[in-house]
Each structure stands twice: as C-alpha cells, then as structure tokens.
C-alpha cells in the first residue's frame, strides 16, 4: 500500500504525489460505491495493480474541505493582495479574511507588488492587519523580494493562493518555483489525447511535501451565508477586547462595549472596525453581503 496526495483530477484520472513523484491513478470501484469524490489535497492510499495501472483504494479523513475551488486538507490560505494595480480594496480583503476564518483555515497575508508601494503603504497595512492574520509578508514578484520568507511559511504545507484576478498570484507562483515543469505526458498518453486545456484546480508540487494551489481570480466572490450576529467572531483581533457589558453584545450600538473602547484607544484598527460595521449592516439586511 502506498500513500500520496492528490494534486489534480481530470476525466476520472487522478495525479497522486508520492515523495515528489506523481502517478496517474484511477479511483477503485470501492470508492465509487461510497460516493466520496476524491478532491485535490486528499491524502490517499493507492496500489499498483497488474498491467501497471494504479488505483486509489482509500481516502483518509479530511481535516477540512473547501468548495471553491474544491480542495481538501488546506493548511493555510495565502491571501495575495496587491498594494496597487488593482487599487487596494480593504473591504474585499476583510471579506476574504472572514471567509477563511469561517472555514477555520489560518490566513497569511501576502502583500505583493511592493515595488509599486510608497513606504507609508506598507506601514498602513501592517498597522491595520498584523493582528488580523497569522503572518504578513511583503513581496514583489518583479524584484523577487520577500520570497524566501514566504517559502519558509509554505514549507511542508498545502497553501491555497487567493485574491482578486490581477493581484499577482500566478506571478508569485512562478517567482517561487521558477523551475517547475508540470508532467502532463503520462496523462495524455492514457487519455490518448493531447494536452488538457480545461480549467481545473491543480496542486503545484513545490517540494516533496509542499503544495501550492493557484486559483483563478474571481469576480463573483460570495461567501457562505452568515448571521450578522456571528460576524465579529471572524475578526480574531476583536476577541481579547470583547469584554462588554452585555453578554450578547455585537459591538455596534451597545453601551460599555470593550471593542468600541479598543477602537477609541487605538488597540483595534479603526479601518477594520469601520468595515465590520458596514458588513454587519449589509448582512443584517440580506444575510449575504452581495
Ligand atoms: N509591478 C509589479 N507587477 C506585478 C507583480 N506581480 C504581478 N504583476 C503584474 O500584475 C499582473 C497580474 O499578475 P498575475 O500574476 O497574472 O495575477 P493573478 O490574476 O492574481 O494570477 C501582470 O501584469 C503582472 O505582470 C509585482 O510584484 N510587481
Ligand atoms: Mg492567475
Ligand atoms: Zn461589545
């Protein structure tokens, strides 16, 4: 029995990475009857059968599963956020952070295109976001800066790159792994057709146990339904200040609210809190923020 991680699924075939090598496998019949569809990121057991065909026989229990793009066992989200081009949109950034928190996945904020930044831009982001995310790194794919720090954060993990289209995700991936060449020949042979051009999520193998999932940029970002009264729970930096007069304080209009006091004293970012109030209002109206 061998063990690996699914990096890609195309037309009923799955790439499974084992110690840095990818094998093309099918799902064994037993899996199909169990109605679990293997996903990118799944840790699986697989077997060599006769004629050199390989079969996935078991999918190990998932630590998490995200739906868009479908992926299992995501260790962290790398939120790629350009300082400029496109213009910084902090409200959208907050929505993405909330979405990650709702999935229970830690987020690293990767501020990119730093070659375009003024000194103040980076300080501003640090001041407002360092408490909101597990790490912040500043990179430039053009100047190849900050990449080593990012590599260290990605080592041994499955990271999902997220961010609006044009933020610089693919450039970052190329800068991180300039020599990465995908092996598509093996699959093409089995399928008896040329290079597959359909869009699919695909895990890049950036080392034997380091995986990066690039995602297409989105324009239709819509997180799961969310009760406005739960919104503040997805702001990690609010927690330590949520010592309020009312047990069920949602930190909007209540008196003696620890979070509002923390905003006044500068302990909690006014930008983050202001956007929180905005999103709360939107959610209250339609339970969605679009
Ligand atoms: N100045 C600058 N431009 C960048 C940087 N990274 C990406 N870009 C440019 O931003 C545009 C979008 O990049 P891309 O990687 O395709 O973004 P994606 O849609 O998030 O994958 C391209 O024109 C890149 O050349 C960077 O670090 N600095
Ligand atoms: Mg891209
Ligand atoms: Zn409160």
Q: What is the pLDDT of residues 224-270, one digit of tens each?
A: 678 999 999 999 999 999 999 999 999 999 999 999 999 999 999 99
Largest CA distance in the chain: 73
- Kindly give the number of the ligand 1 atom that is closest to the alpha carbon of 214: 21
Residue 171 Cβ contacting ligand 1 at under 6 Å: yes
From 92, 141, 199, mutation site for ligand 1 pocket: most ligand atoms within 8 A of C-beta: 141
pLDDT at 289: 65
Look at domain 228-286 and name its CATH class. Answer: mainly alpha
Q: At what angle do helices 169-176 and 147-154 cross, to 10 degrees?
A: 90
Beta bridge partners of 211: 158, 205
* Domain formed by 66-180+193-213, architecture: 3-Layer(aba) Sandwich (3.40)
Q: What digits encode the pLDDT tens for the residues 177-220?
A: 877 644 334 444 555 544 443 456 788 888 888 999 988 766 55
**Are 222 and 290 in contact, with CB atoms under 8 Å apart?**
yes
156 close to ligand 1 (CB < 6 Angstrom): no
| Burial label, 91 (beta-carbon count in 10 A; 0-12, 13-18, 19+) | middle
Q: Residue ranges of the domains in the chain? A: 2-63, 66-180+193-213, 228-286
Taking alpha carbons only, the member of 133, 89, 86 closest to residue 109 is 133
Structure token pair of residue 111: 């501020």
Q: Is 174 in the pocket of ligand 1 (CB under 6 A)?
A: no
Provide the 10 A C-beta neighbour count for residue 227: 10
Exposed e or buried b for every residue in 171-181, given b needs 16+ CB within 10 A?
bbbebbbeeee
Distance 136 CA to ligand 3 centre (A): 27
Fold classification of 2-63 (topology level): OB fold (Dihydrolipoamide Acetyltransferase, E2P) (2.40.50)
């Amino acid at each position: 029995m061998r063990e690996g991680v699914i990096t890609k699924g195309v037309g009923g075939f799955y790439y499974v990475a084992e110690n840095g090598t990818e094998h093309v496998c099918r799902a064994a019949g037993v899996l199909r009857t169990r109605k679990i569809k293997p996903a990118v990121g799944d840790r699986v057991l697989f077997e060599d059968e006769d004629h050199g065909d390989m079969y996935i026989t078991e999918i190990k229990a998932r630590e998490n599963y995200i739906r868009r793009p479908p992926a299992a066992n995501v260790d962290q989200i790398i939120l790629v956020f350009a300082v400029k081009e496109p213009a910084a949109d902090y409200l959208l950034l907050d929505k993405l952070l909330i979405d990650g928190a709702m999935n229970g996945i830690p987020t690293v904020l990767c501020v990119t295109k730093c070659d375009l930044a003024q000194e103040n831009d980076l300080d501003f982001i640090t001041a407002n976001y360092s408490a909101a995310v597990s790490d912040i790194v500043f990179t430039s794919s053009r100047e190849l800066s900050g990449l080593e720090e990012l590599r260290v954060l990605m080592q041994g993990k499955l990271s999902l790159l997220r961010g609006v289209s044009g933020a610089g995700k693919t450039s970052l991936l190329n800068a991180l792994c300039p020599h990465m060449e995908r092996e598509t020949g093996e699959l093409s042979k089995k399928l008896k057709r040329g290079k597959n051009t359909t869009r699919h999520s695909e895990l890049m193998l950036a080392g034997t146990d380091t995986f990066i999932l690039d995602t297409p940029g989105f324009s239709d970002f819509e997180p799961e339904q969310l009760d406005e009264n739960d919104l503040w729970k997805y702001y990690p930096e609010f927690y330590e200040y949520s010592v309020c007069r009312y047990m069920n304080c949602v930190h909007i209009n209540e008196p003696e609210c620890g979070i509002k006091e923390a905003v006044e004293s500068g302990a909690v970012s006014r930008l983050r809190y202001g956007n929180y109030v905005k999103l709360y209002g939107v959610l209250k109206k339609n339970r969605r923020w679009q």
